[in-house]
Structure formats: C-alpha cells, structure tokens
A and B are shown apart, each in its own frame.
Chain A
C-alpha cells in the first residue's frame, strides 16, 4: 500500500534525524580550495554584507563607500594582475537573519571569490561557519570580536580590527601611567565590546576603577549612567562605545556639569562622525549654539589606521585624493578610511597571490604576506595568528580639527602579556604594491 511506503519513508527519515544529537556536528571534509570561483581572465568578484539601510546604516555605510572608491582607483590603474575587482555590497540591515540570506545570495548566485569585510559581530557570527564550510575565504570581518582569530575552528577567517582586549590593555596602561592615582570610570556597551574591553582595562586599572556603567544599544537614555559616574567622582571615563553613544554620553555629561577626561576606543573615535552626531543631537535644544568641537576638545582616542585629520600623513593625503575622484562628494571621515584601508590591503594580498589566482593561493599569500601599511600598526594574518591589527596608538584631538600623537603604536596580546613598542614603519602609497 502507498500509505505504508510513505509511512516507512517517514519513519526512516525520522530515525535518521533521531540518531544523532542536534548539536553534534560531524567533521565535514574540508572544502576544495584549489578553485577559482568568481575569477575570470579579467575580473574577480568579491562580496560583503553591510548595513545600507536601517538604524545602523548612518554610522557604517561609509565603510563600503570608502572601499568602493579604492577599488575604483585600483581598477582605473589596470586592476590587480590584469583583473579588475568587482565589489558586490549586499544590504543586511544589521539583522543576522538577513545576513544569512544575503551571504547565501553572494555565495550561490553571485559566486564570489571571497568575502571581504563583512560587518558586525552578531551578523557575521551567523555566517562564519557557512563561509568556512563552503570554502569561501572570509577576509577582514569588520568587527573587533575575539572570535575571528580561531584558526582551528575557522581556518578561512582572518581578523581585521585590533581586538577589544588588546586595545583596552593599551588604554589601561596609558591611563595608569599618565593619570596616576586618578579615579577611573568605565562606560561600555553591554555585549562582547564591554566584556572584552573590561578584560583588558582591568589588567591595569583594577585598583583605580570606581564605576562600571553599561548601556544597551536599544536604549538611548544615558542619564542614570552618567550621574553614577559623576557621583563616583570618576576623573577619567573610558568609553567603549559606538559613535552614537559617545555623543549621547558627552551631551549628557555636559548637561549635568560633569567634565571628565574622555578616552574613546577606535570604534567610537571617528571625530567627523561624532561632530555630525553632536550637531544633530543638539539641534533645537539649549545647546544648539555650542559648536560640536567644544565637546570633543581634548579627548584621547586610540586608533590603528591612518587618520584623516592628520594632513601630514601620506596615506591620509592619498585617501583624500582618491575620495576626491571616486567619492560621493561628501567629506571624508575615518569611517571611510576604515573601508579604504581594508580595500588597499585586500588588493595588496591579491597582488601577492599572483596571476594563477585560486582560493588556496589567496590563503597562502595571506599567510606569507609582509604587511607594510597603510596602517602604522603591525598586522598579522599568519597560519596560527589571524588577529589582524596587533595594537593601537594614542592621539589627542584638539578643537579646530588638529590631532596630536601622544603615544606611538604599541603592540600586545589578548592575554596578560606585556605591552611593547614597535619599530614597524609603513610604506607610503607610492611604494606599496597593491595594483598594476
């Protein structure tokens, strides 16, 4: 009988699923990397997932615009090893469910060669296993989570940002040395940013910290947190926050007459973005006439890439020139530079991978690449350490737009290792080999 056959088939299916635990994932065979998916004689398709619409878009949209400008520049010079770069940006609205959808679209329909700079911790976590299972190189995800540096579980993922713990360690030591004995307060985002940052800060500031305040990215009222920091008399406040919350915290502090020394992480340290946010938030309030720069005067920022404010820097000049030609006409910010630096370094490793481009040759090139810029901080993408940028430098922003380097690049690990100076020197744009 038909029904019986159906029932047997169903029973078989159910037993098959029932045999194994849902969370017990069998080791699948490593994907074949000797393939040139997405590579033709004259082009390479690469993809990325970015928030182009929705609430996260205003802060992060500039990253892919910056990267596209550099790729346009590279293509105008003849591309890389005779191939132009076809950069496909998919909008995931910073929603993990949509990241999964658009990533499949990129891998299956667009047949990308590699994923470059997929943005966000919750979003990219959802496609990490998928990309590794499918054998798609997952290069430079735009997030400082520790998860990206895990060669055993994710052999095709290569981190980018200085991870939050390394950055916080260097912040912690700088504060301990330069603000000796002063009370310190933490303000952090209540996710891996806050957790990993505290792990670093506490190595140097555990004795002087007087308040630990967190915020949720859904709640834009920081009055309770700031008054706690003020009541605890914290003289230095380390803000491990995204730009919107740096701006909100500064405004809230100003409104209660609290003037701590602000120390900002790189994720929230883009002064151009902060100025725009501050101007936007003060509109139609009593503080409307206060220039945004007044809030930012004297803040300390940790950073690992070239800064647009630094007009002496050759990379900064180069990026400005590229933006002039291929940008959308708006001002260049450090968020653009984030994507631009990624694009330069990705082009550089493509160049090293040679003319017979396969996924394996890209991986090999990553492992052996001698990185020489644009960032003034050493970079690691070896077989065993995919930590990306290895440290930060400290700068002070002064009203009027000038920045002042107050501590040279330092490198460290994410455990309890020492913080060390480095003699690393980046090459200027004219000497770096990243296009034909």
Chain B
C-alpha cells in the first residue's frame, strides 16, 4: 500500500518550482471540469456511431465507474476497506424509485440531489459507527451492511416491493430532441454527464488538501495525527464521500434500468465492486474506468464465448467468474497496480519523451 502514493504523482514530482504554465496553471477544479467536458464530448461522439444496445451498456459502465471511483477514494485513498459498498447503491436505487413513484413531478436533478443527501446521511451514520475500526474489523462491519440491507426489502414488503422489487418509468429524451437521440441514448448521456461531473468533483477532492490528508492517514495514522490531522473525522468524511458516490450510482442505475430488486444488491455486488477496483487499479481514479468496463463487458464476452464454443451448461454457468478471477490474478502478478498501472508503465517512455522541458 505504501508505495502506491507515488504512482500518480511520480511523473510530475520533479516539477520546477518556477510558476507552472499552460494546462498546469489552471486551478484543479477547472482542469477536472474541462477533462470531464472532453470526456463527455468523446462519449457523445461514440454514441453517435454505436446503437441503442451499446448506449445501455455504456450507461451501465458509467454508473459502475462512479460507484467504483467512490470506493477508490475510500480504499485506495484512505486505506479503509469497505465490503458494503453495494448497500449504498441499493439505498440510492430505492430512494430514486420511491421518489419517482411517490413524487413524479420532481425533476431528475432534484431526485439525484435528494439521493445524494440520503446517501450522505446513511454514510455519516455508518461511518461514525465504524470510524474506530481498522482493517478486517471495518471490512466485517461493512459486510453486515451488504448482507443485511437487502432483507429490508422483504421486511417492508408493502413499501419496497419484496423480492419482485419496484418498477418505475422515467421520462426519456425531451420532446425537442425526439428523433435526434433515442431514449436509451439520452439516458446514457444523462448518466455520463452526472458521472463525469461527480468524478471531476472526486478528482478535485483527491488532489486537494483532503486527498493529501487521506493519503497521510493511509500511510501512517500516528504520523498523520501528530501532524495535526483529525484522523477520525477525516476517515468519516472519506466514508461519507464514498457513500454519496455509491448512492448516486445506484440512483442512476434505477433511472436507467427502471427495475430495482433486492437480488441486484447482494454481497456479490459489493465483492465484485472491490475486486474490479483492484483489477482496474486501486491507486488512481482512472482505475475505475477499467473496472467499470470489466464489470459490464467481461461477463457479456465470456458468455458469448461459451456460446460460440458450444460448451456445457455447467461451464457456461461458471466461466465468467473464472475468467474474471484468472484475469485478476494475472494482472496483479504482473502489474500490481492493476490495468491502470499497466497502461502507465507501457506509456511511461512515451510520456517522458514528450514531456516539456
């Protein structure tokens, strides 16, 4: 863990003390927002050449990425391991569904803001209760959340719909865009706009004072405390930010899919999220992108492959999980920093050459 802090900053570390020029001179929120806008432009272009099905899958990549980015800040940034991240997605998804059902006149933006609010409250409650726990104890405590929360849907069957969950219908593309973009493409755009804005915010937090404090705590809690960092409070703040990201991601999932069942938010989801984060790269927010792609597409590819090979049912049942596991082991063996680490190492010589003197 201790070596990871150098990964993203190593290249820029020997920056001259002279005033930075060009891109670097911009304040970090502006830089991240511009990157987000660029990302959105690229995504819009990508949507134009692909179809409805890809739009739906890319929307899934979007909200999974946001959820994992929140987890990255928590696990990679502050060193707290949460096995209950899926529970916050569930909170977000059910909040959205209930809002859409009971207050259909609220615009989506308001729904999502309320979702973030609810997730923040839940995050404070859980974060405050677990702030003193370390390592496996924190993992255990958050594990309870992932296992227990889906049970609520059964307990409050009338409100939350039991195992059949809730079904909602949300507005698609606005009338003046009808015919230009399909409903799925519109929803994918809404998801990516929200996700990129949220990730710009996360990246700003990560590169700012809070991010530095988190990394200090991760590397040595005692040293951080002696340096005057309020350890407990900072850890709770990290937990709350991660919860908000998870909740927002769940809200977007409900918006895109329209069906919310407790079966989608089991412990398996929480474990998948954290395994995917490790696969994508735990040390950088970019890891979340690879992780999101892996979660959505690995399964589709693996089941297509089994079908093409005409394999046995039992094989088909288990192959996606096996592929994921083998890939995870291989990547960690050769690139301990995940896919992002691999990309960085492969492109490092190129960047060194083109770096301005």
Task: Indicate if B343 sits at the interface (CB-CB under 8 A).
Answer: no
Q: At the interface with chain B, which of A94-102, A317-325, A334-342?
A: A94-102
CA distance A214 to B52 in the complex (A): 41
Contact A53 B316 (CB under 8 A): yes
Interface centre among B34, B103, B165 (most CB of A within 10 A): B165
Contact A22 B259 (CB under 8 A): no
Interface size of B as a range:
35 or more
Task: Indicate if B148 sits at the interface (CB-CB under 8 A).
Answer: no
Known A-B contacts A20-B171, A23-B101, A91-B303; the reply to A105 vs B53 at CB < 8 A is yes
Contact B164 A125 (CB under 8 A): yes
Residues of A within 8 A of B261 (CB): 96, 122
The 8 Å CB contact of A108, one of B52, B157, B164, B183, is B52
CA distance A121 to B53 in the complex (A): 23
Contact B174 A16 (CB under 8 A): yes
Contact A53 B170 (CB under 8 A): no
CA distance A218 to B60 in the complex (A): 26
The 8 Å CB contact of B171, one of A22, A121, A133, is A22
By DSSP majority rule, is chain A's interface helix, strand, loop, or mixed? Answer: helix
Residues of A within 8 A of B193 (CB): 10, 13
Contact A20 B163 (CB under 8 A): no
Task: Indicate if A423 sits at the interface (CB-CB under 8 A).
Answer: no
Known A-B contacts A14-B109, A109-B53; the reply to A125 vs B259 at CB < 8 A is yes
Task: Indicate if A216 sits at the interface (CB-CB under 8 A).
Answer: yes
CA distance A216 to B163 in the complex (A): 8
Residues of A within 8 A of B172 (CB): 25, 28
Contact B255 A22 (CB under 8 A): yes
CB within 8 Å of B: which of A321-361?
none
Contact B170 A191 (CB under 8 A): no
By DSSP majority rule, is chain B's interface helix, strand, loop, or mixed? Answer: helix
CA distance A13 to B53 in the complex (A): 23
Task: Indicate if B264 sits at the interface (CB-CB under 8 A).
Answer: yes
**CB proximity of B204 to chain A, nearest CB, Å:** 17
Task: Indicate if A1 sits at the interface (CB-CB under 8 A).
Answer: no
1/0 contact string of A259-283 vs chain B (CB within 8 Å):
0000000000000000000000000
Residues of A within 8 A of B108 (CB): 17-18, 22
Interface size of A as a range:
35 or more
Task: Indicate if B332 sits at the interface (CB-CB under 8 A).
Answer: no
Contact B53 A23 (CB under 8 A): no
Residues of B within 8 A of A20 (CB): 107, 171, 174
CB within 8 Å of A: which of B225-243?
none
The 8 Å CB contact of B107, one of A10, A17, A96, A216, is A17
The 8 Å CB contact of B106, one of A23, A28, A101, A104, is A23
Residues of B within 8 A of A26 (CB): 171, 175
Known A-B contacts A20-B174, A121-B164, A190-B157; the reply to A104 vs B107 at CB < 8 A is no
Known A-B contacts A95-B264, A217-B163; the reply to A101 vs B107 at CB < 8 A is no
Known A-B contacts A13-B193, A105-B53; the reply to A122 vs B163 at CB < 8 A is yes
**CB proximity of A204 to chain B, nearest CB, Å:** 24
A–B complex contacts, Cβ < 8 Å, 27 sampled: A10-B37, A13-B193, A16-B176, A17-B107, A17-B174, A17-B190, A20-B107, A22-B106, A22-B107, A23-B168, A24-B104, A24-B105, A25-B169, A26-B171, A52-B313, A57-B317, A95-B264, A96-B261, A96-B263, A97-B259, A100-B258, A104-B53, A108-B51, A121-B164, A122-B164, A133-B183, A216-B154
Contact residues of B with A, CB < 8 Å? 34, 37, 51-53, 56-57, 60, 99-101, 103-109, 111, 154, 157, 162-165, 167-172, 174-177, 183-184, 189-190, 193, 255, 257-259, 261, 263-264, 300, 303, 313, 316-317
Contact residues of A with B, CB < 8 Å? 3, 6, 10, 13-14, 16-26, 28, 52-54, 57, 91, 95-97, 99-101, 104-105, 108-109, 121-122, 125-126, 128-129, 133, 190-192, 216-218
Smallest CB-CB A-B distances: 4 pairs: A23-B104, A126-B259, A21-B105, A22-B108
Q: A10-B193, A24-B105, A53-B317 are in contact. List 15 more A-B contacts (CB 8 A).
A: A3-B34, A16-B174, A17-B108, A22-B111, A22-B171, A22-B255, A23-B104, A23-B169, A24-B171, A25-B172, A26-B175, A57-B313, A104-B53, A104-B184, A108-B51
